[in-house]
């Protein structure tokens, strides 16, 4: 079905060299898209791009700190120089796995500001960087990765939860501002996903606690990065061309709205 076809599309995935972002990058390549892996972890981004190329796909790694405006502009320019367009932006990069879980009143002001700089300003800068090209094309798909913490009111990482709530407000407002340019802006709220970075940063006690939450889901198993891929590809495709400003929750039925 042609509306699901991503062959030849150019997709930028921020944080695309590690964690869940790596799964997005690989899925886009398998779907025929040309992938720009924009990750502050430069070596990991290069490795993913190399693997994609070795498997017959097309990928470019661009070292990118999304909180740095110049780096996001370079990200967009590199995509255009290499592939001639920008059709899809997945705002996946965020500051999370390195954050200690602790009560809200113990969060340092500097750490709060750093989380907002990456998770909100970074998303804003990436959207601004790709917007001129998408406006010129009169088409584009922006997919913002939020978190099911928005629905749950999950404690112990208040700055992260607040930033991910901001993603949804950003998504709704931006969708109205770029609708006349035929750009779709949507968000996804993943549940606790057992990516390699999440597992590496979680204590055995926290993982056991998270496993107990499976009982409250409609699907009583762990959520894996692969569980998010289909929703991202759908929002990137023409099949979702009349959807914008929406938030799709993908958490196995833990939260329903």
Rg (CA), the chain: 17
Look at residue 228 and tell me if it is in a domain: yes
- On the CB side of 64, CA atoms within 13 Å amount to 35
Q: Give the count of domains, the chain.
A: 1
Q: Among residues 103, 198, 83, 75, which one has the least CA distance to residue 147?
A: 198
pLDDT recorded at residue 196: 61
- What is d(CA 175, CA 122) in angstroms, rounded to the nearest whole number? 17
Look at residue 255 and tell me if it is in a domain: no
Q: Which residues of the chain have pLDDT under 50?
A: none
CATH number of the domain at 8, please.
Answer: 3.40.50.720
Q: What is the pTM of this model?
A: 0.94
Q: Note down the domain range covering 52.
A: 2-248
Look at residue 177 and tell me if it is in a domain: yes
Per residue in 166-197, pLDDT (tens digit) is 999 999 999 999 999 999 999 999 998 875 66
Q: What angle do CA 254, 119, 71 make, to 5 degrees?
A: 140
Look at residue 242 and tell me if it is in a domain: yes
Catalytic residues: 160
């Amino acid at each position: 079905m042609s509306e699901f076809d991503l062959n030849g599309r150019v997709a930028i995935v921020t944080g695309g060299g590690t964690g869940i972002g790596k799964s997005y990058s690989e899925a886009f390549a398998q779907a025929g898209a040309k992938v720009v892996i924009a990750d502050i972890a430069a070596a990991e981004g290069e490795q993913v791009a190399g693997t994609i190329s070795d498997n017959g796909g097309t990928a470019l790694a661009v070292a990118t700190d999304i909180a740095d405006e110049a780096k996001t502009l370079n990200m967009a320019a590199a995509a255009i120089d290499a592939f001639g367009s920008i059709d899809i932006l997945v705002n996946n990069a965020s500051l999370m796995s390195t954050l200690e879980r602790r009560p809200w009143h113990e969060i340092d002001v500097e750490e709060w500001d750093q989380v907002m700089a990456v998770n909100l300003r970074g998303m804003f800068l990436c959207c601004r960087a790709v917007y001129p090209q998408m406006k010129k094309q009169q088409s584009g798909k922006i997919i913002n990765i939020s978190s099911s913490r928005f629905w749950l009111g999950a404690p112990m990482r208040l700055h992260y939860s607040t930033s991910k709530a901001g993603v949804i407000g950003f998504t709704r407002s931006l969708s109205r501002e770029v609708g006349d340019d035929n750009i779709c802006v949507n968000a996804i709220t993943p549940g606790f996903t057992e990516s390699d970075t999440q597992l590496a940063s979680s204590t055995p006690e926290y993982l056991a606690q998270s496993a107990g939450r499976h009982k409250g889901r409609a699907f009583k198993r762990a959520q894996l990065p692969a569980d998010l891929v289909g929703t991202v590809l759908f929002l990137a495709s023409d099949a979702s061309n009349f959807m914008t400003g929406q938030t799709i929750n993908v958490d196995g039925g833990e939260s329903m709205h």
